[in-house]
Chains A and B, each alone.
Chain A
Amino acid sequence: MAKFQISPKFQMSRRKFLTSASLGLSGIALSGCDAFDSGLGIGGGLRSFLENANGLTWRAQRLLAGRDALAPEFTEADIRQPQRPNGVTAPDDDTYKGLLTNNFADWRLEVTGLVEKPLSLTREQLQNMPSRTQITRHDCVEGWSCIAKWTGTPLALVLDQAVVKPEARYVMFHCLDTIEQSLSGDIKYYGSIDLIDARHPQTILAYGVNGKPLPVENGAPLRVRVERQLGYKMPKYLYKIELIDSFTAIGGGRGGYWEDNGYDWYGGI
């Protein structure tokens, strides 16, 4: 009895839903999607709801890939062109230009934050550590790909040397290049990954590409390679690695420069 009373109501509301949905669709199409645009700003309710899918993607891919599944590696024959530079390709910052003039002799990689032994490493010290060389494909969020041979120090070795505190959850990379000039000052590139990706066997601090020292346009003296994620997760012109338990206080609080401008923190897809 109750079933028969509920059923027509359900039919009606569903019909109403379909009608309003199709009206909504045509309305969106007619107004050139302006109506939809307004609800999609960072922090907006609609956007926050849609962004839940990113968390789902992150968890699903972590579940499938685990900690150590390797990104595909290629052969020398696949290196058919120089690594395509993108983003900032010639930092205009005085600090950077000063370091470059001296061929990075005064440059140091600082390892700070939630570590037992903060480090300050020269390029020679990094290069004297065990290295890893890998021919991998760089996938840009824009859609293009480029295969190159990267040589660098596994990040895991640097983290082991600094002894990460148990409460640390993320690695924040701080860079020397100004990516944006705003009223409140220059914004230098920053970005973060979690400790699983930081300790992944293919995650290296690269100082060489295609058998040569890393050139300025690709991030000299040091850039990150995180091979299971997109290019924006691999900062260039690195000078500081900070171990943190939360990135909410850094920049816009979404974990990186591009993340604060709307990209997903997880760049595995």
Chain B
Amino acid sequence: MDSAATSQTAEADTKNATLIYRQSRWTRLTHWIWAFSLFFMLLSGLQIFNARPQLYIGKQSGFGFNNTILQIGAENTDNGPRGFTEIFGYRFDTTGVLGWSGPPGQETPRAFPAWATIPSYYDLGTARVVHFFFAWVLSATLLVWLIAGLVNGHIRRDLAPRVEDLRKLPRDIVDHAKLKFHHTREYNTLQKMAYGGVLFVLLPLMIITGLAMSPSMNSVLPWLNEILGGRQTARTIHFTVMVLLVLFFIIHMLMIVAAGPINELRSIITGWYRTDPPAKHDQATERSA
């Protein structure tokens, strides 16, 4: 009886599910330009970090005093050279990935491994060329997206948080934890928080801390580093936001796989998205009512 009902519902689902035009061409185009740019910015950024694999807090780097909060390095031990990562004084052996890595027998001291950097060999100058090119692309795209999103209503309609989002949040967290996804035109609360957080907090913070590291921009906006806590703190924030963006990317990929990769990918490539049948929603509404 139960299984019959389920198969009937499934049949009705396919019949009633509707394709809707969910993502405008502006959203899709800017999404893919960001994806492309962030890939190159991450790998060239890790190369730039390798030139000075330490993070500090304050206006300057401590050589005569200690304000280092993160260090990736290599050291000689009784068991040969080892790679280490030290965060807030806690030291971890990260041989093979961070500090000391390479093909067996050809390991070299380098903070991030060759497979994670552009170029794969040590070349700070080239990494900077790549990094700043895509910094322009990323920033320009963010501006285009902002204008398009304000004009076509995407930001107000899809991203702006509402009171009801707050009400839905606990249920939304439970649903995500159970990998139970509702395919609707609207973003759910956690999606709004994630996308809004990346677009309105993380990416602008990345641009601001990037500019704060530029000595020329310091002459234009001398207060920027004062707000951020000094150039070296700005550099540390820049690195931390990178880690957060990588975390976002990992969760983003997991959610796409869990929610149905074909439907999700179609929506960000063509704009068309298959939503859950309305019947299900009516029931859900009734239940919650």
Give chain A's interface residues, CB within 8 Å of chain B. Answer: 15, 18, 21, 25, 29, 32-34, 36-37, 40, 47, 50-54, 56-57, 61, 64-65, 69-72, 74, 78, 80-82, 84, 137, 139-147, 227-230, 258, 261-264, 268-269
A115 to chain B, nearest CB (A): 27
A25 to chain B, nearest CB (A): 6
Known contacts A33-B43, A33-B119: does B126 contact A144 (CB below 8 Å)? Answer: no
Known contacts A139-B231, A262-B123: does B225 contact A72 (CB below 8 Å)? Answer: yes
A262 touches B125 (CB 8 A): yes
User: Using Cβ atoms and an 8 Å threshold, which residues of chain B touch A51?
Assistant: 129, 133
B124 to chain A, nearest CB (A): 7
25 sampled A-B residue pairs with Cβ under 8 A: A18-B269, A32-B114, A32-B120, A33-B117, A33-B118, A40-B119, A40-B129, A40-B130, A50-B129, A53-B129, A57-B132, A61-B216, A61-B217, A65-B217, A78-B59, A80-B62, A81-B65, A143-B52, A144-B54, A145-B60, A146-B63, A147-B60, A227-B219, A262-B126, A262-B129
User: Using Cβ atoms and an 8 Å threshold, which residues of chain B touch A29?
Assistant: 115
A61 touches B220 (CB 8 A): yes
Q: Is the interface of B mostly helix, strand, loop or mixed?
A: helix
User: Using Cβ atoms and an 8 Å threshold, which residues of chain A touch B125?
Assistant: 258, 261-264
Most buried by A among B54, B62, B64, B217: B217
Chain B contacts with A in 102-146, Cβ cutoff 8 A: 114-115, 117-121, 123-126, 128-130, 132-133, 135-136
Question: CB < 8 Å: which of B39, B124, B215, B269 contacts A15?
Answer: B269
Does B232 count as interface, using CB distance less than 8 angstroms?
yes
Further pairs besides A71-B215, A140-B52, A262-B126: 10, Cβ < 8 Å = A18-B269, A21-B36, A33-B115, A33-B117, A33-B118, A72-B225, A80-B60, A81-B60, A230-B215, A269-B132
| Docked CA distance A126–B165 (Å) | 69
User: Using Cβ atoms and an 8 Å threshold, which residues of chain B touch A269?
Assistant: 132, 213-217
Q: Which residue of A lies closest to B39 (CB)?
A: A25
User: Using Cβ atoms and an 8 Å threshold, which residues of chain B touch A36?
Assistant: 118-119
User: Using Cβ atoms and an 8 Å threshold, which residues of chain B touch A78?
Assistant: 59-60
B220 touches A69 (CB 8 A): yes
Does B61 count as interface, using CB distance less than 8 angstroms?
yes
User: Using Cβ atoms and an 8 Å threshold, which residues of chain B touch A72?
Assistant: 218-219, 222, 225
Known contacts A143-B51, A263-B125: does B62 contact A70 (CB below 8 Å)? Answer: no
| Docked CA distance A69–B222 (Å) | 10
| Docked CA distance A72–B119 (Å) | 33
Question: CB < 8 Å: which of A80, A81, A228, A261 contacts B215?
Answer: A228
User: Using Cβ atoms and an 8 Å threshold, which residues of chain B touch A261?
Assistant: 125
| Docked CA distance A146–B39 (Å) | 31
B57 to chain A, nearest CB (A): 12
Does B48 count as interface, using CB distance less than 8 angstroms?
yes
Most buried by A among B63, B214, B216: B216
